[in-house]
């Protein structure tokens, strides 16, 4: 299994994005302005790839005082997918899953084309009529099924969560995460979970509340361009 380089701590997006271009959020999702640099997506991957984003919508993430109460992570994720899609090929795919599963916001593996990113964007929101689960395993196991279904792809699972897990055995859940059939990138929203909690096979980006716009977008972007020649990621300010 190929491994991503271990990432340095980053910072969570402030309560609003700043900058120049129009919001990329579809109707029904929080509207944000994008004003940060991600880097260069390079050229399309020479091998088929699949990046699965698995999002935590529990109260410890979404409520006032939570790790991401204004859902800025979704606006940033949408931007990262969109930047890569401008130069992607149909053999590069993305998918969106949620801790609550199944949901109306799950999006199966979809080519990273401009049309495909529009489909992915429909899943980059808090799903309707969900409890807000803090359990990792249901979504993780769904992601593992997708990875096995696309066994000819280089698969990366990007988990965006505060990792305040309520699985019956959180330690066992994290071990199962480490055994995912592909690369694993844990984006720790709020930055409270210690990197030491994670197996060495898991790449960890700690995203704190000392907000710099684009932190979540750059984390996802790094996984999206992992196999793309000529790509590079903007350094965290």
> Is 39 inside a domain boundary?
no
Task: State whether the Cα torsion 193-148-76-61 is positive or negative.
Answer: negative
> Is 50 inside a domain boundary?
no
CATH no. for residue 161?
3.40.50
Instruction: Tell me how many domains the chain contains.
Output: 1
Domain enclosing residue 121, as ranges? 10-18+57-228
> Is 30 inside a domain boundary?
no
What are the structure tokens assigned to 44, written together? 């399309």
Name the 3-class secondary structure at 234.
Answer: coil
Name the 3-class secondary structure at 58.
Answer: coil
Nearest to 223 by CA among 53, 91, 48: 53
Q: What are 68-121's pLDDT values in tens digits? A: 866 789 999 999 999 999 999 999 999 999 999 999 999 999 999 999 999 999
> Is 46 inside a domain boundary?
no
Nearest to 53 by CA among 159, 203, 136: 159
Q: What are 166-183's pLDDT values in tens digits? A: 999 999 999 999 999 999
Is residue 79 within a helix (H) or strand (E), and if so which, with residue range? helix 72-85
> Is 208 inside a domain boundary?
yes
Q: What are 121-133's pLDDT values in tens digits? A: 999 999 998 889 9
Q: Is 211 exposed, middle or buried (0-12, 13-18, 19+ CB in 10 A)?
A: middle
Residue 137 is predicted with a pLDDT of 98
Please state the pTM of the whole predicted model: 0.85
> Is 171 inside a domain boundary?
yes
């Amino acid at each position: 299994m190929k491994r991503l380089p271990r990432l340095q701590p980053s910072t969570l997006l402030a309560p609003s994005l700043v900058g120049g271009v129009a919001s990329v959020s579809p109707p029904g999702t929080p509207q944000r302005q994008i004003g940060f640099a991600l880097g260069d997506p390079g050229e399309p991957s020479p091998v088929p790839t699949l990046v699965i984003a698995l999002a935590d919508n529990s109260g410890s993430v979404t409520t006032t005082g939570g790790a991401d109460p204004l859902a800025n992570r979704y606006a940033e994720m949408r931007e990262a997918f969109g930047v890569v899609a401008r130069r992607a090929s149909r053999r590069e795919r993305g998918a969106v899953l949620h801790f609550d599963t199944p949901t109306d916001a799950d999006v199966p593996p979809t080519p990273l084309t401009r049309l495909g990113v529009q489909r992915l964007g429909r899943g980059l929101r808090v799903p309707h009529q969900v409890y807000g689960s803090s359990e990792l395993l249901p979504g993780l196991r769904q992601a593992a099924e997708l990875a096995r279904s696309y066994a000819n792809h280089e698969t990366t699972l990007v988990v965006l969560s505060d990792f305040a897990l309520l699985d019956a055995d959180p330690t066992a859940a994290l071990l199962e995460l480490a055994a995912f059939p592909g690369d694993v990138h844990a984006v720790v929203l709020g930055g409270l979970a210690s990197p030491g909690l994670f197996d060495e096979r898991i790449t960890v980006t700690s995203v704190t509340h000392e907000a710099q716009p684009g932190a979540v977008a750059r984390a996802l972007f790094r996984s999206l361009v992992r196999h793309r020649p000529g790509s590079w990621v903007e350094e965290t300010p």
